[in-house]
Each structure stands twice: as structure tokens, then as C-alpha cells.
A = this chain, B = another copy of it.
Amino acid sequence: MSTGIDLAVSTVIFALRPDADGRLVLSIPLVRRTRAPQEGHWALPGGSADARESLAETAARKLAETTGLSAAYLEQLYCFGDPERSPSGRVVSVVYWALVRGEEAELVTDENVAWFAADELPRLAFDHNLIVDYALWRLRTKLEYAAIAHAFLGPTFTLAELRQVHEIVLQRELDPANFRRQIEASRAVVPTGEHVTGGRHRPPRLYRYDASVELVDNGPLTSAGVR
């Protein structure tokens, strides 16, 4: 029994990358379509669902195959199924969103992959502009109540680095003292005891993410590991 519907999996990938002036910018890698429909347009990385994998596994694999990246955070965003969203027939896309670390982001070499500032996107293929807008909304909303900002950073980081992640994503400055108080109250990070030396000012503490603090709502908890 076939329904005549193609099932695809795509991912909105976020990373913080330096722009021409060296300032970190919230960025998204896009893939140039090399065949119809919408040939030549930029689109989200993705592809057809695979019958042998879970949807999250497919998202992670496609993400790695097309961009060479691996995600520090991966969560299902939404399932898009408007009948008119693709001119070539009915396509239902299960869309994930992912966060990757800054160092990872520089490993992309494929000439058909390019990074764009999240708030300066061109006209994308299909309904992908709508999808990115929704993913951006989710990222910004979730950053305010869930400990996910560390996924942009390495295993250890200073509170100033973590605060900078929040400031770039939320597009507003945050009071350093109040940010410290809020983060410490959340118990999401723990000090390693080490400090960053060699800086021009008082050496800041290094922190790491406390994995014992479970994430709020990364989808339903299944018995198997990867969702």
C-alpha cells in the first residue's frame, strides 16, 4: 500500500562562525541543489528517509555526509507536510535542528556547501525559509530555559564564552554578574578548578557542562539511546 508520498529528513544546522571582521555570527550551512526541482537554489542539507534507520540517525548521517559535520546537539523540530510545498509532488519532511561546535564548522570543504548568516539568508528552495525561521525561534526560545548553549563550545569554557553565545543568539547584551548568578543557580555547569592563564586580565575559571542535569524536552524518552 503506497500513499504516493515521499518522506525526507532535513536538518537546520547552527554554528557560531567569525565573519569578515572576526566577529562571531550565528550561521547555517546550506547546500546548492544540483538537480530539479529548484536546481541552483540553496537548500537545507537532507535527503530521503532510510527504512533501516531511525529518523534521528538519518538526520545525523545526512548531516555528516553532506557537510562533514557532527552535531553536539540534535532535536526534532517539526514535520512539514503541506501539499504545495514541493512542485514535484508530495514530500513530507521531518526536520531536525542541530548545534555544532565552532571548530567543527571550519571543517566543511564541499564546494556545494556554503555558510550563511542566520538572519541574512537568500531565497531558499521550497519552504526552507519558513523552516529556518521556525528553527531560529525554537533555538532562541529554548536557550532561555534549557542548558544547550555549551553545545556551541568545547568541553570546557569560561562563563564569558558561554555568555557570548547567549548574546549572539539572543541578539542582546547580558549583564555579566546577573548571567553568572543565573547559570550558577541552574546547576548546569560546574567549575573544573582550572583557570585560563595568559589573558590580559584576571584569569577566569574554566567550567564544564554537568551532564547529570537532564535536558528538558529533547523529545519523548525512548528505551533505546538515540532518538
Given the known inter-chain contacts A1-B6, A55-B81, A94-B92, please indicate yes or no for A130 contacting B49, CB distance below 8 A.
no
Copies in the complex: 2
Question: In the complex, what's the smallest C-beta–C-beta distance from A217 to chain B, in angstroms?
Answer: 8
The interface residues of chain B lying within 8 Å CB-to-CB of A53 are: 83
The closest CB in chain B to the CB of A79 belongs to B79
The interface residues of chain B lying within 8 Å CB-to-CB of A54 are: 81-83
User: Once the chains bind, are B5 and A78 in contact (CB under 8 Å)?
Assistant: no
Secondary structure dominating the interface of A: loop
The interface residues of chain B lying within 8 Å CB-to-CB of A224 are: 82
Question: In the complex, what's the smallest C-beta–C-beta distance from A9 to chain B, in angstroms?
Answer: 9
Cα-based distance from A49 to B3 in the complex (angstroms): 7
The interface residues of chain B lying within 8 Å CB-to-CB of A92 are: 7, 49, 55, 94
Given the known inter-chain contacts A92-B94, A130-B220, A222-B130, please indicate yes or no for A50 contacting B3, CB distance below 8 A.
yes
Cα-based distance from A80 to B50 in the complex (angstroms): 14
Question: In the complex, what's the smallest C-beta–C-beta distance from A57 to chain B, in angstroms?
Answer: 9
Interface residues on A, range: 35 or more
The closest CB in chain B to the CB of A84 belongs to B224
A199 in the interface (beta carbon within 8 A): no
Question: In the complex, what's the smallest C-beta–C-beta distance from A56 to chain B, in angstroms?
Answer: 8
8 Å CB contacts to B: which residues of A40-81? 48-55, 76, 78-81
The interface residues of chain B lying within 8 Å CB-to-CB of A78 are: 76, 219-220
Given the known inter-chain contacts A220-B133, A220-B134, please indicate yes or no for A81 contacting B52, CB distance below 8 A.
no
The closest CB in chain B to the CB of A92 belongs to B7
Cα-based distance from A170 to B131 in the complex (angstroms): 32
The closest CB in chain B to the CB of A58 belongs to B81
Q: Give 22 CB contacts A-B under 8 Å.
A: A1-B6, A2-B2, A3-B7, A3-B49, A3-B50, A4-B51, A5-B49, A7-B7, A7-B92, A49-B81, A49-B92, A51-B90, A52-B83, A54-B83, A55-B81, A78-B219, A79-B79, A82-B224, A130-B220, A130-B222, A134-B220, A141-B217
